[in-house]
């Protein structure tokens, strides 16, 4: 390894202080990209050491892991380590060695090696903005022949073929799904932009068309029905026109909905003013106080009765007061006794949430922000974050959704957990509203049919990619999903 260190030193001489990072790098995920991008910014050229195949935690051949690291533009040199990282550090003598923030405060074997020649050990997990750079570079460098790009390496790693997914949607027809959570009515107001006001710096638009869609937990139930399952939905609405619209729409979608009227709150309505395919402004008409205890008991009784004939219970929480903790615990206890699989999604796009309060779920699907809110953790790397959340919520599987960066999957396999990642399948979404709902329901249904978490999340990602290819939150159908499965992977 001394020869390799000397060659790297000679090649990078005069290009600034060398920065060194080492690791297993089994599956490159956004957390790795953030760490490596941060390391590339704190000094000069970045050198990455890839641990040997006999290192604890390694699951892929070193040659494959090395090729993945070399494909990252921020990396100046990648080296296959045949000895512990601290020994190679003593040979290379990089000015800066970077490790993930989770290692701060621990005993680090690299510390003595770095101190011996006057180097510096830095701890950081990078920032969210770093990972987005690779997406921009890919957008500039790749020709987008299709909006939906199905990765082929992930199925190969996880023991299935894309065509195998076609066996899952027909099985959804055998499932009975109960959904409980906040109902939302989404209104899309298409506008013609007129320009800038002459009196003040305000954009002036003229409304052209308005369309309304069922959203929130209601669309989760509608997706379930569209995908073939029997769906029952329980929620709370106001005594208003939006509630009437939602009832009619859910009936058209084939969802058996039981909506309890609360006269102290309007039906939650979100207006999106759009022009030229972009959202200019969102206006939320909402009350966020908890529903009254008697209303909670009515929901517990109604949903509890429905669980006697259910396969899946889904909590779809938008944190507008429909799912107080007492209600959640009562329903979860009932489902647990009946052997009903449970999954939860708790959204916090513009409000606070705590996905960790949904204990014992088979699946939880927070965004990165929602996971950090639940743990009050703004600094940990993504893998550490997912692992901490799994333990806090006692969840079977944790999928952290990362928007344009895809997914981080922390899944149980046998008696342990491993982490995988998937990129976003649709690089040019028309409307991202509803992507998380569609992913959540499809992944949960696939798990309930017996698919493993790796297959289920791939199918869920494909469903989300189909959903964002159109404007408005309409229920995805099994036929649409099967058509995309059959479409050649590009």
- Each residue's pLDDT tens digit, 193-224: 877 777 777 888 888 788 899 999 999 999 99
Residue 25 lies in a domain: yes
Q: Let me know whether 226 and 275 are in one domain.
A: yes
What is the reported pLDDT for 135? 42
pLDDT over threshold 80, residue 305 = yes
Domain count for the chain, please give it: 2
What pLDDT shows up at residue 9? 92
Cβ-count burial of 349 within 10 angstroms (0-12 exposed, 13-18 middle, 19+ buried)?
middle
Within this chain, do residues 134 and 178 fall inside the same structural domain, yes or no?
Answer: no
User: What span, in angstroms and rounded, lies between the C-alpha atoms of 335 and 125?
Assistant: 38
Together in a domain, 311 and 271? yes
pLDDT of residue 144: 36
Whether 189 and 267 map to the same domain: the answer is yes
pLDDT over 60 (residue 130): no
The pLDDT value given to residue 127: 62
Within-domain flag for 240: yes
Owning domain of residue 209: 173-336
Say whether both 304 and 227 belong to one domain: yes
* pLDDT at residue 107 greater than cutoff 60: yes
**pLDDT category of residue 386 using cuts at 50, 70 and 90:** very high
Residue range 152-179: mean pLDDT, rounded: 95
Tell me, yes or no, whether 409 lies in a domain.
no
Last residue of a domain, one of 281, 304, 336: 336
pLDDT at 143 over 50: no
Whether residue 91 is contained in a domain is answered as: yes
Q: What is the mean pLDDT of residues 480-488?
A: 88
Q: Find the mean pLDDT for residues 61-73.
A: 89
pLDDT at 432: 79
Same domain? For 85 and 231 the reply is: no
Task: Please tell me the predicted confidence (pLDDT) of residue 307.
Answer: 97
9 and 110 fall within a common domain:
yes
pLDDT of 131 higher than 50: no
Q: Is the pLDDT confidence value at 313 over 90?
A: yes
99 is a domain residue = yes
Q: Looking at the structure, tell me whether residues 203 and 84 fall in a common domain.
A: no
Residue at 473 is within a domain: no
Q: If pLDDT is split at 50, 70 and 90, which confidence band does 128 have?
A: low
pLDDT at 96: 95
Same domain? 202 vs 326: yes
Answer whether residue 446 shows pLDDT above 50: yes
Q: How confident is the model at residue 177 (pLDDT cuts 50, 70, 90)?
A: very high
Q: What's the pLDDT score for residue 405?
A: 87
> Which of 193, 188, 217, 216 is CA-nearest to residue 203?
193
| Final residue in a domain of this structure, among 319, 336, 353 | 336
User: 232-288 pLDDT, tens per residue?
Assistant: 999 999 999 999 999 999 999 999 999 999 988 899 999 999 887 788 888 988 888
pLDDT of the residue at 95: 95
- Average model confidence (pLDDT) for the chain? 89
Name the domain boundary from 308, 336, 364. 336
The pLDDT of 291-316, averaged and rounded, is 95
Please check whether residue 444 lies inside any domain of the structure: no
Establish if 364 belongs to a structural domain.
no
Statement to judge: residues 20 and 100 lie in one domain: yes
What pLDDT, on a 0 to 100 scale, did the predictor assign at position 134? 47
Same domain, 187 and 89: no
Q: By percentage, how much of the chain surpasses pLDDT 90?
A: 65
**Average pLDDT over every residue of 338-361:** 88
Is the Cα torsion angle 329, 350, 444, 419 positive or negative in sign? negative
Domain with 97 in it: what CATH number? 3.40.50.620
- pTM beyond 0.95: no
Lowest mean pLDDT among 144-148, 288-292, 365-369: 144-148
Q: Give me the mean pLDDT over the 95-119 stretch.
A: 92
Model pLDDT, residue 178? 98
When pLDDT is cut at 50, 70 and 90, the band that residue 34 belongs to is confident
**Pair (52, 187) in one structural domain:** no
């Amino acid at each position: 390894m001394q020869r390799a260190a000397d060659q790297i030193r000679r090649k990078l001489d005069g290009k600034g202080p060398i920065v060194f990072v080492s690791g297993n790098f089994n599956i490159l995920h956004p957390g790795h990209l953030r760490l490596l991008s941060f390391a590339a910014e704190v000094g000069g050229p970045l050198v990455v050491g890839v641990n040997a195949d006999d290192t604890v935690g390694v699951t892929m051949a070193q040659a494959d892991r090395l090729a993945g690291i070399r494909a990252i533009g921020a990396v100046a040199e990648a080296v296959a380590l045949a000895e512990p990282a601290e020994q190679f550090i003593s040979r290379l003598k990089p000015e800066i060695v970077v490790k993930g923030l989770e290692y701060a405060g621990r005993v680090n074997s690299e510390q003595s090696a770095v101190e011996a020649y006057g180097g510096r050990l830095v701890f950081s997990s990078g920032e969210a903005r770093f990972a987005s750079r690779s997406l921009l570079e890919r957008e500039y460098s790749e020709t987008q022949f299709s909006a939906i790009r199905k990765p082929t390496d992930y199925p190969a790693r996880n023991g299935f073929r894309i065509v195998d997914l076609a066996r899952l949607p027909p099985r959804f027809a055998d499932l009975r799904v109960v959904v409980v959570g906040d109902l939302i009515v989404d209104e899309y107001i298409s506008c013609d932009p007129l320009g800038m006001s002459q009196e003040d710096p305000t954009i002036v638009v003229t409304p052209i068309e308005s369309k309304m869609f069922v959203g929130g937990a209601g669309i989760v139930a509608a997706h379930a029905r569209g995908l073939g399952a029997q769906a029952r939905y329980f929620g709370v609405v106001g005594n208003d026109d939006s509630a009437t619209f939602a009832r009619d729409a859910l009936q058209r979608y084939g969802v058996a909905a039981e909506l309890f009227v609360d006269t102290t709150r309007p039906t939650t309505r979100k207006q999106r003013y759009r022009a030229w395919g972009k959202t200019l402004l969102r206006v939320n008409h909402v009350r966020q106080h908890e529903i009254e205890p008697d209303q909670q008991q009515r929901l517990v009784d109604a949903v509890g009765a429905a669980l006697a004939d259910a396969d899946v219970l889904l909590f779809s929480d938008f944190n507008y007061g429909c799912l107080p903790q007492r209600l959640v615990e009562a329903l979860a206890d009932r489902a647990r006794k009946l052997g009903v699989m449970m999954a939860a999604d708790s959204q916090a796009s513009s409000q606070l949430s705590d996905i960790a309060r949904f204990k014992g779920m088979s699946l939880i699907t927070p965004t990165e922000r929602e996971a950090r809110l639940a743990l009050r953790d703004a600094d940990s790397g993504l893998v550490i974050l997912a692992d901490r959340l799994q333990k806090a919520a006692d969840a079977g599987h944790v999928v952290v959704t990362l928007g344009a960066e895809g997914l981080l999957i922390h899944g149980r396999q046998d008696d342990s957990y491993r982490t995988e990642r998937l990129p976003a399948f649709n690089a040019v979404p028309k409307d991202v509203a509803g992507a998380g709902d569609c992913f959540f329901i499809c992944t949960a249904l696939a798990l309930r049919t017996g698919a493993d978490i790796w297959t289920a999340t791939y199918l869920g990602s494909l469903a989300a990619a189909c959903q964002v290819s159109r404007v408005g939150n309409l229920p995805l159908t099994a036929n649409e999903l099967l058509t995309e499965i059959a479409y050649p992977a590009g």
